[in-house]
């Protein structure tokens, strides 16, 4: 009913309103152009920064002040708090940063977003920016023809800026001509009633337009053309800040638990900041008047004073809320509880993470390590070994001799329920992320996909090995028992070496050397074991059936060892130049 009748009616009314009202048409067109500009800017920065923005947000957030500073700078530069939020949510999901750092970035981002008001009130209104908008659009479009991602991105930023400038010019023109027919300033309201009503207007406008920057642009241009009263403009700015939380909450509804937690943090911050601003609006106004000369803002320049007010009340908000960041994070962690890890479900892969190449790569690597650990557990259990014993200080022979009891494990079931599902998720998300990546990123994803395949092949290999291992475990032939124990010992040697590599903090050349040396040793061991089997056949120590089983299983056991080492080279040697020196580098 609503969709079929009300929505078309609203659209019809809106259409009539625009056609009938020339000035409103210009203002609304200005808002629409401004929003297109914001969209281009956001996409342009994604391409242009080439991961630099993500790197900055990941690296420079070790303490809360650093996180706030980084959030502020990143948002001020890219002019988009929503882009910064998207990156932060994907970082959280991939566990590249913690919730405390993420909340710090969001706080800083709130101050950074006030840069838009400065941009509009200074460049936007002081100079005839429409003159600069057109060359920007022309050069921006020309740059779109480039094959280079960063160059294309720069083009998009220019187009974005061009549209933003053009949008502001239209809004300004619309308000100026509107003034000739109708003076909105007549509706100015003084006192706290006016403050509350205008806060409501600001909030509603932001919810409808879905952008506090666009609302600020309207407020500043309206204020500069004298269409609204200064104190009402301050209230509208507070309303825009409150309204943006509704936008964030709506956006977070479809997000994962990290997105929801951040939206709650954002909501709390903006409501507290809004409350402070409302209570102390007149004192803050006086503070702006006091500070304005320090920023070379003239007494009559209300637009720039509004920008200063916008920054001040957000800074005050950060100063008031940030001492409680630990308590806030503790509270946020009680919300949207972590679902119990479902069998075969990915831990780090979500749609949000896949949108950013840097996080997608990090998350896919972590998920492949998750697959590796799950498979390792299944493989060692299938070989009647326990991880606690394997990774202990006990001598290898002793571990093997003690691990005689059969471990009841249905490797087929584990493969189908856990490992295959996880593998499918890795493949699914890898394919999604590859659409967002350049050649280099695509190669790395391909490499991880092949590693995941190598890992599941090990599980398939151990299915065959397990049957004979259990069959001959309690036979009377000691030669058979000893040979299977040798295979198990070889696996322990390899797994201990890989564990040592995982914990190693030295040069990556050393890691690759260790892996390659171990591979050589596994090859030697395979040759030696096959020679032993030949000797056993010649000496009639094993029958032909046993011999064929052993020859196959030695192949499987060594294939598993080599695949473990090959996977380790991809997962724990990160530098591409070093990885390429390895034997298995065929990707």
Partner 1 sequence: MNINKVMHKLDDYFDLSKKKQKEKRDKLLKIIGKLEEKKVELKAEMILESEKDDTSEAFYDLDKELKVISKLLKKAKQNNAPEENE
Supply the Cα-derived Rg of the chain in whole angstroms.
32
Binding part of the chain for partner 1, among 158-166, 445-453, 514-522, 537-545 by CB under 8 A, reads 514-522
C-beta of 142: minimal distance to partner 1 in Å? 8
Q: Say how far apart CA 88 and CA 83 lie, in whole Å.
A: 9
Q: Which is nearer to partner 1, 323 or 506 (CB)?
A: 506
Q: Which is nearer to partner 1, 150 or 470 (CB)?
A: 150
Residue partners of 156: CB distance under 8 A and separation at least 6? 40, 41, 43, 44, 47, 48, 140, 144
CA distances (Å), 232 to each of 113, 236, 472, in order?
A: 21, 6, 87
Sign of CA dihedral 322, 324, 330, 336: negative
Binding part of the chain for partner 1, among 137-145, 334-342, 367-375, 380-388 by CB under 8 A, reads 137-145
The one among 179, 387, 521, 532 contacting partner 1 by CB under 8 A: 521
Residue partners of 474: CB distance under 8 A and separation at least 6? none
Please report, as residue ranges, which positions from 452 to 471 form the binding site for partner 1 (by CB under 8 A).
Answer: none
Sign of CA dihedral 496, 499, 501, 504: negative
Q: Which is nearer to partner 1, 289 or 516 (CB)?
A: 516
Query: Ramachandran region of residue 296, left (φ > 0), alpha (ψ -120 to 50) or beta?
Result: left
C-beta of 490: minimal distance to partner 1 in Å? 15
Binding part of the chain for partner 1, among 1-9, 304-312, 350-358, 513-521 by CB under 8 A, reads 513-521
Q: Is 500 in the site for partner 1 (CB under 8 A)?
A: no
Binding part of the chain for partner 1, among 15-23, 58-66, 68-76, 511-519 by CB under 8 A, reads 511-519
Q: Is 509 in the site for partner 1 (CB under 8 A)?
A: yes
Q: Say how far apart CA 562 and CA 209 lie, in whole Å.
A: 58
Encoded one letter per residue, x for contact with partner 1 by CB under 8 A and - for no contact, window 35-74 reads ---------------x------------------------
Q: Are 130 and 169 in contact, with CB atoms under 8 Å apart?
A: yes
Q: Is 148 in the site for partner 1 (CB under 8 A)?
A: yes
C-beta of 151: minimal distance to partner 1 in Å? 4
The one among 268, 432, 450, 581 contacting partner 1 by CB under 8 A: 581
Find, among 247, 253, 281, the residue nearest to 267 by Cα: 247
The one among 504, 507, 527, 534 contacting partner 1 by CB under 8 A: 507
507 SS3 class: coil
C-beta of 52: minimal distance to partner 1 in Å? 12
* Token duo for residue 569: 């080279």
Binding part of the chain for partner 1, among 34-42, 150-158, 237-245, 564-572 by CB under 8 A, reads 150-158
Q: Which is nearer to partner 1, 148 or 392 (CB)?
A: 148
C-beta of 517: minimal distance to partner 1 in Å? 5
> In degrees rounded to 5, what are phi and psi of residue 73?
-65, -45
Q: Which is nearer to partner 1, 10 or 142 (CB)?
A: 142
Q: Are 97 and 135 in contact, with CB atoms under 8 Å apart?
A: no
Classify residue 347 by its DSSP letter: S
Q: Are 473 and 484 in contact, with CB atoms under 8 Å apart?
A: yes
Number of residues counted as binding partner 1 (CB under 8 A): 24
> What is the full DSSP assignment across 533-567?
HHHHHHTTSS-HHHHHHHHHHHHHHHHHHHHHHHH
Q: Is 512 in the site for partner 1 (CB under 8 A)?
A: yes
Classify residue 63 by its DSSP letter: S
Q: Is 517 in the site for partner 1 (CB under 8 A)?
A: yes
Q: Say how far apart CA 170 and CA 113 lie, in whole Å.
A: 22
The one among 1, 145, 388, 539 contacting partner 1 by CB under 8 A: 145
> In degrees rounded to 5, what are phi and psi of residue 416?
-70, -40
C-beta of 156: minimal distance to partner 1 in Å? 14
C-beta of 135: minimal distance to partner 1 in Å? 16
Binding part of the chain for partner 1, among 13-21, 67-75, 346-354, 504-512 by CB under 8 A, reads 504-512
The one among 17, 520, 531, 534 contacting partner 1 by CB under 8 A: 520
Residues that bind partner 1 (CB under 8 A): 50, 142-143, 145-148, 150-151, 154, 507, 509, 512-513, 516-517, 520-521, 575, 577-578, 580-581, 583
């Amino acid at each position: 009913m609503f969709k079929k009748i009300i929505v078309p009616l609203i659209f019809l009314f809106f259409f009539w309103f625009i056609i009938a009202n020339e000035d409103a048409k210009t203002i609304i067109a200005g808002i629409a152009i401004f929003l297109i500009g914001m969209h281009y800017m956001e996409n342009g920065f994604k391409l242009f920064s080439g991961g630099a923005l993500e790197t900055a947000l990941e690296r420079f957030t070790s303490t809360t002040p650093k996180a706030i500073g980084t959030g502020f700078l990143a948002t001020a530069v890219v002019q988009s708090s929503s882009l910064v939020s998207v990156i932060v949510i994907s970082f959280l999901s991939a566990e590249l940063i913690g919730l405390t750092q993420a909340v710090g970035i969001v706080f800083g981002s709130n101050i950074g977003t006030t840069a838009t008001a400065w941009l509009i009130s200074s460049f936007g209104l002081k100079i005839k920016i429409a003159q600069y908008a057109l060359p920007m659009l022309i050069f921006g479009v020309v740059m779109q023809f480039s094959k280079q991602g960063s160059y294309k991105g720069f083009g998009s930023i220019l187009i974005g800026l061009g549209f933003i400038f053009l949008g502001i010019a239209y809004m300004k023109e619309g308000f100026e001509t509107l003034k000739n027919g109708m003076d909105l300033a007549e509706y100015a309201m003084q006192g706290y009633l006016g403050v509350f009503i205008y806060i409501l207007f600001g909030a509603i406008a932001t919810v409808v337009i879905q952008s506090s920057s666009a609302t600020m642009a309207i407020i500043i241009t309206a204020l500069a053309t004298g269409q609204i009263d200064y104190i009402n403009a301050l209230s509208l700015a507070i309303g825009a800040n409150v309204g943006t939380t509704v936008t964030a909450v709506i956006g977070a509804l479809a997000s994962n638990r990290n997105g929801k937690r951040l939206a709650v943090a954002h909501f709390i911050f903006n409501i507290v900041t809004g409350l402070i601003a409302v209570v102390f609006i007149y004192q803050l106004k006086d503070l702006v008047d006091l500070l304005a000369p320090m920023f070379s803002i003239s007494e009559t320049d209300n637009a720039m004073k509004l920008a200063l007010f916008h920054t001040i009340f957000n800074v005050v908000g950060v100063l008031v809320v940030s001492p409680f960041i630990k308590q806030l994070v503790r509270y946020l962690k009680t919300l949207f509880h972590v679902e119990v890890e479902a069998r075969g479900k990915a831990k780090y892969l979500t749609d949000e993470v896949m949108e950013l190449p840097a996080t997608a790569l990090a998350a896919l690597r972590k998920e492949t390590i998750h697959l590796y650990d799950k498979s390792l557990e299944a493989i060692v259990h299938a070989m009647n070994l326990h991880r606690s014993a394997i990774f202990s200080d006990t001598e290898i022979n002793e571990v093997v001799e003690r691990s005689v009891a059969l471990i009841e494990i249905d490797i087929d079931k584990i493969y189908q329920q856990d490992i295959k599902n996880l593998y499918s998720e890795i493949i699914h998300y890898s394919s999604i992320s590859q659409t967002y990546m350049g050649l280099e990123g695509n190669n790395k994803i391909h490499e991880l996909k092949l590693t995941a395949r190598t890992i599941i092949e090990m599980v398939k290999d151990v299915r065959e090995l397990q049957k004979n291992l259990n069959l001959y475990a309690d036979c009377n032939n000691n030669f058979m028992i000893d040979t299977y124990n040798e295979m198990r010992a070889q696996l322990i040697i390899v797994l201990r070496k890989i564990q040592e590599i995982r914990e190693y903090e030295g040069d990556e050349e050393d890691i690759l050397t260790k892996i390659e040396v171990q591979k050589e040793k596994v090859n030697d061991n395979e040759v030696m074991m096959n020679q032993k089997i030949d000797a056993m056949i010649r000496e009639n120590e094993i029958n032909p059936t046993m011999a064929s089983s052993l020859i196959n299983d030695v192949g499987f056991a060594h294939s598993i060892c080599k695949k473990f080492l090959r996977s380790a080279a991809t997962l724990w040697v990160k530098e591409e130049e070093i990885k390429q020196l390895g034997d298995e580098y065929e990707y």
